[in-house]
Structure 1
């Protein structure tokens, strides 16, 4: 904060998918902003731990007298776990058997602990650092690389969608613009009611429909006329186990990270839906974009994909 009225925001990862949405929402909705600084870098994909980087951010806040920090965590700090235990409309207090089997959720959980623990730390100038953490469910929207990858793989498969997740699986998806909006509201909450918001973690969801990841993506890709090939779940589990074994065997010579493994398949097949009621109570979060707006914006972007015929001709 540069004075009593003007705000300076630093967005780490500001050139990424969520960072671009956060920039747009902040410029549109934060009337007191006088400057937004974007910080980004290319990260070596071999690096899996985030805790050191998070500690560096906290230290920078201490040295520079920064008072407010909102951390982008993930629902995966809670689950789904590889045992397939469902989590239905859960909140931040819902009991769950948390078991981190992969580096991403493990490092996210550790980074979140560091951020929450830093709440109340004294910073330069005798001020106090106030922190909170947001846990989005599966984020989607314009420029979402995973949705683009889903489309590209279908094109590479000759216009076939390879499906295998049980139809009754439900996941909570959240539009990137609404995630950005919650970040802005959480930052305001830290400034206005630090005794309530500080040191807290919040699930982040909107009004997007509960569907499996596959069915959710199909809502946007159906116009391409892909045929659907349903693979038995048992076959997918066999391939996932095989990939894990091959990854272990190849570890001494190279780092191979197949998209399909036991963890990713467990996540895809396990129902995991959350409630954002705590965020509504603590800093008055409601989605900025309705489901109709989220769908229209995402569909407009998907409609720019070249289509199956154009891919074949290229």
Structure 2
């Protein structure tokens, strides 16, 4: 069911995924209005949008909210209070405002990291939404995303002032890659500094299944269409969905190499140290960080939870999203790879100049 005539709100609209969804909405839906909420608006080439920074009326007459805004942090660089304030409190405040303004549909962008992995590095192969997995989350980021997801799903069915009910759902994408991915740029920059050799921080057999940004945007659109459809609304409302595509399962480090090898990059054969010693090193760095904290803020480049994430097989299917949302990846692996490679090639000269400077 199309969103024709609707007013849609996108938070985090200038982010990696937010930009892609905004363009998709403008291309495929005849919306009455699309309102973009972000701390910075850089979509100069997009004409049919409204910049709603700081506008308390942003939700007035809105029918669908895509809540993508959050702080992503896996190194501990951001204070826990700031993460909680944005990721949890911000989501709660937005939900309350949606109820007050009779917003009918709310789609929360979660993350597969709310699932794990756990400290024992127990693997998941082709997991589903029903997979049982014991995990005590260690990242402050993962904890706040999990709580925000729970609050979003618990709000499903809330009675609105106009007598209707709010319908919510959450999408859990895998690691998202594609044009604009800052993590890929960071790895490529490190590779340039290391004489075109990418660092290995994950074991080859620790496989994950990344997902292309264009396909994640399509999944969000399908979720919104589903929540608008009276025949699907009750099925989708209150549920979360794993979002992956047909990108081959590979380790994080080898995935970087797959994308960047055509640009002349190689990759280290082995981890710089055995995995057990890397855990010891991370522990020592965390202790140094704790000791120095009263004086200076030292953020180790690698920590134990991140090391666990990078070295645990963690793959999931999108079958439930396909069955209930009608989600089908629009871009093939080859198309996604080619588009990402082309973008990386465009960024490489500037990165090389920056490293030389």
Q: Could you tell me whether the CA contact under 8 Å between 1:164 and 1:233 is conserved in 2?
A: no
The answer for the alignment partner of 1:52 in structure 2 is 89
The answer for the alignment partner of 1:213 in structure 2 is 252
* Structure 1 residue 248, shift from structure 2 partner: 2.0
The answer for the alignment partner of 1:19 in structure 2 is 18
The answer for the alignment partner of 2:38 in structure 1 is 40
Q: Could you tell me whether the CA contact under 8 Å between 2:201 and 2:310 is conserved in 1?
A: no
The answer for the alignment partner of 1:288 in structure 2 is 330
The answer for the alignment partner of 1:137 in structure 2 is 174
Q: Give the secondary structure class of the aligned counterpart of 1:38.
A: strand
The answer for the alignment partner of 2:140 in structure 1 is 103
Q: Could you tell me whether the CA contact under 8 Å between 2:257 and 2:266 is conserved in 1?
A: no
> Relative contact order, CA 8 A, sep 6+: which one is greater?
1
Note closer, same or farther for the CA distance 1:221–1:64 as it changes in structure 2 (3 Å cut): same
Find out whether 1:232 has 2:273 as its counterpart: yes
Give TM-score scaled by structure 2 length. Answer: 0.82
Aligned equivalents of 1:15, 1:148: Cα separation in 2: 17
Gaps of 5+ in 1: none
Q: Give the secondary structure class of the aligned counterpart of 1:306.
A: helix
Q: Give the secondary structure class of the aligned counterpart of 2:256.
A: helix
Find out whether 1:268 has 2:310 as its counterpart: yes
Note closer, same or farther for the CA distance 1:276–1:245 as it changes in structure 2 (3 Å cut): same
Q: For 1:13-37, what per-residue CA distance to the aligned partner results, in whole angstroms no more than 9, with x for missing partners?
A: 000101011112212222x322111
Q: 2:204 aligns with which of 158, 167, 181?
A: 167
Q: Could you tell me whether the CA contact under 8 Å between 2:199 and 2:253 is conserved in 1?
A: no
Q: Could you tell me whether the CA contact under 8 Å between 1:164 and 1:236 is conserved in 2?
A: no
Q: 2:343 aligns with which of 291, 298, 301?
A: 301
Q: Give the secondary structure class of the aligned counterpart of 2:132.
A: coil
Aligned equivalents of 1:132, 1:312: Cα separation in 2: 43
The answer for the alignment partner of 2:214 in structure 1 is 177
Q: Give the secondary structure class of the aligned counterpart of 2:347.
A: coil
* Structure 1 residue 187, shift from structure 2 partner: 0.7
Q: Could you tell me whether the CA contact under 8 Å between 1:142 and 1:301 is conserved in 2?
A: yes
Aligned equivalents of 1:13, 1:63: Cα separation in 2: 21
Aligned equivalents of 2:348, 2:178: Cα separation in 1: 18
Note closer, same or farther for the CA distance 1:142–1:97 as it changes in structure 2 (3 Å cut): same
Gaps of 5+ in 2: 41-70, 72-76
Q: 2:121 aligns with which of 76, 84, 87?
A: 84
Find out whether 1:198 has 2:252 as its counterpart: no
Q: 2:163 aligns with which of 102, 126, 136?
A: 126
Aligned equivalents of 2:35, 2:6: Cα separation in 1: 11
Q: Give the secondary structure class of the aligned counterpart of 2:108.
A: strand
Note closer, same or farther for the CA distance 1:291–1:133 as it changes in structure 2 (3 Å cut): same
* Structure 1 residue 266, shift from structure 2 partner: 0.3
Note closer, same or farther for the CA distance 1:246–1:288 as it changes in structure 2 (3 Å cut): same
Aligned residue pair count: 310
Q: Give the secondary structure class of the aligned counterpart of 1:36.
A: strand
Q: Could you tell me whether the CA contact under 8 Å between 2:99 and 2:159 is conserved in 1?
A: yes
Q: Could you tell me whether the CA contact under 8 Å between 1:204 and 1:276 is conserved in 2?
A: yes
| Higher deviation after alignment, 75-84 or 261-270 | 75-84
